[in-house]
Amino acid sequence: MFFAHIYTPGLAHSSYVLGGERGCLVVDPARDIDRYLDQAKAWSKPIIGIIETHLHADFVSGHLELASRTGATIYAPKSAQCVFPHIALADGEEVTVDSFRIKMLETPGHTPEGAVFVVSDLSRGPEPCLALTGDTLLVGDVGRPDLFPDIKHDLARKLYRSIGRLAGLGDNVEVYPAHGMGSLCGRQLSAKLWTTLGTERLHNYALQIGTEDEFVTALLSGMPEAPDHFARCSEINRQGPRLLAELPQPKAVPPAEFWSLAEEGHVVVDTRDQLAYAGAHVPGSYALSLRGNFATFAGWVLPPDRPLLLVLENPSDLSAALTGLRRVGLDHVTGYLAGGMTAWANAGLPSHNLESIGVRELKQRHEAGALSIIDTRLRSEYDAGHIAGSVHIAAPDTRHEHPALGDDGAPLAVICNTGNRSVLAASLLRRRGLRQVINVIGGTTAWQAAGFALTAPAEGSGPHD
């Protein structure tokens, strides 16, 4: 067997290419598929099969994209009810593709149609050698069961039973999940990208929980925030996303036309660094730096039903921006600002700036009672240590009403770990009409580097609680 792990940073997404005697299988592909084509070419083996372990919630899959380019057959759980051409596998059904025997086990819990694909390499023997676990079993965790709030208790119970279905597999079986640490598809994911069933039986907290009731309670407590696009990507993947070749290519838009389109309802997304955004930006634009977790936060906060306009640092950034947006199903990108913000300023069009301060000034002004601090990191990060007196509101949640976001006129200083999420939060607050917003550059990383303390985590808490 040939084997390659293909990793997508930001989404913390793992996909795989398995090379057999004559061809390749690709497992849970991303939408940008050149990496799989390149790997197959390096092995001189055509891609003949594509496996989807479940309907991914955090990204738009490349299954149709890859099938259209290669003619490969897509295999997916029958319970997913996919509407595109594929072979739907029922629980316990086996197929042989090239030198691989593959058995699909229905393992609902993370999603209703989740599955584990158990693989035997027949060139070596009939025994299972690896399990493609999707988001059912992760390294150090299991997939969160709360992405469908109306049925989360039912899914948590199903997940408990699904994990039990793996009991018949040997400790030596290697486990290859669809996500690693940094993904919001779980809570305590390890930085290690693969494992064995034996290791997980020894060390995975979820597999140590004794009863079903205890499992449900544990898995529905303290879960991280769920981005907005998690609620729509699953259906996009079930229907099958549009092929990238069918999408219109964004054009360079002159400043005056750009402004007219923005006034007509196009959403302006500024992909530059936080300092460039602070210096001058298009009024009402979203600050989504390509240097941050661009795809996840774009899917989280951008309206999916409105056309997008981009502000780039350089035209060469267009490819990265489009890839990130398309990974989360944001396909309607009209164009980008021709000449960037320099051309915008030279055209005499209105611009806004954003006050930015360093951590030393933040400390002085906070101790003087001259501002309030909003910590825009995830709850787990905040609980692990934060500036005393700060209030937690995750960056995407600054879109919504919160007692700490009153209209008393007091300046709000927003902070994250480096400044990318906080500048996003600042742009969201400014869109809501709050004017006295300050971004803290360097974030809590700079705060600690300056020798300032964060609060100690509460007893029993950890970075993923």
Neighbour-count burial of 93, counting CB atoms closer than 10 A to its CB (0-12 exposed, 13-18 middle, 19+ buried): middle
Question: Per-residue confidence at 408, pLDDT binned at 50, 70, 90?
Answer: low
Residue 99's domain is classified under what CATH number?
Answer: 3.60.15.10
Q: Does the residue 456 lie in any domain? A: no
Does 462 have pLDDT greater than 60? no
Q: Is residue 110 part of a domain?
A: yes
Express each pLDDT in 123-145 by its tens digit.
999 999 999 999 999 999 999 99
Asked whether residue 186 falls in the same domain as residue 120, the answer is yes
Do 197 and 104 belong to one domain?
yes
Percent of the chain with pLDDT over 90: 89
- Domain contains 314: yes
User: Which strands, in side-by-side order, build the sheet including 195-196?
Assistant: 94-97, 100-106, 115-121, 128-134, 174-177, 195-196
Confirm whether 220 is domain-assigned: yes
Residue 463 in domain: no
Smallest CA-to-CA distance from 268 within 298, 328, 310 is with 310
Q: Taking the mean position of all CA atoms in its chain, how far away is CA 244?
A: 20
Residue that finishes a domain, picked among 239, 255, 284: 239
Assess whether 37 and 145 both reside in one domain: yes
| pLDDT > 80? residue 407 | no
Domain co-membership, 138 together with 261: no
Instruction: Looking at the structure, tell me whether residues 79 and 162 fall in a common domain.
Output: yes
Q: How confident is the model at residue 459 (pLDDT cuts 50, 70, 90)?
A: very low
Q: Are residues 342 and 361 in the same domain?
A: no
Name the band, by pLDDT with cuts 50, 70 and 90, for residue 461: very low
Evaluate whether residue 461 is within a structural domain.
no
pLDDT tens readout for residues 411-441: 999 999 999 999 999 999 999 988 899 999 9
69-107: per-residue pLDDT in tens? 999 999 999 999 999 999 999 999 999 999 999 999 999
Say yes or no: 184 and 68 in one domain. yes
Residues 64 and 89 in one domain: yes
How many domains does the chain contain in total?
Answer: 3
Query: The CATH number of the domain where 272 resides is what?
Result: 3.40.250.10
**Domain-located, residue 458:** no
> Which of 197, 220, 239 lies at the terminal end of a domain, its last residue?
239
For residues 166 and 176, is the Cβ–Cβ distance under 8 A?
no
Mean pLDDT of 40-53: 98
How far is residue 321's CA from residue 290's CA, in Å, rounded to a whole number?
A: 7
pLDDT of residue 201: 95
Q: Does residue 215 share a domain with residue 93? A: yes
Give the mean model confidence (pLDDT) for residues 148-172: 95
Give per-residue pLDDT as tens, 185-239: 888 899 899 999 999 999 999 999 989 999 999 999 888 888 999 989 999 999 9
How far is it, in rounded angstroms, from Cα 91 to Cα 162? 12
Least confident of 58-67, 317-326, 398-407: 398-407
- Assess whether 57 and 127 both reside in one domain: yes
Whether 266 and 233 share a structural domain: no
- Rounded average pLDDT over 436-464: 81
The reply to whether 329 and 432 lie within a common domain is no
- Specify the pLDDT at position 460: 40
Percent of the chain with pLDDT over 70: 98
* pLDDT over threshold 60, residue 465: no
Residue 458 has pLDDT above 70, yes or no: no
Last residue of a domain, one of 291, 321, 346: 346
Cβ burial, residue 365 (10 Å; 0-12/13-18/19+): middle
119 occurs within a structural domain: yes
Domain that holds residue 162: 2-239
265-298 pLDDT tens trace = 999 999 999 999 999 999 999 999 999 999 999 9
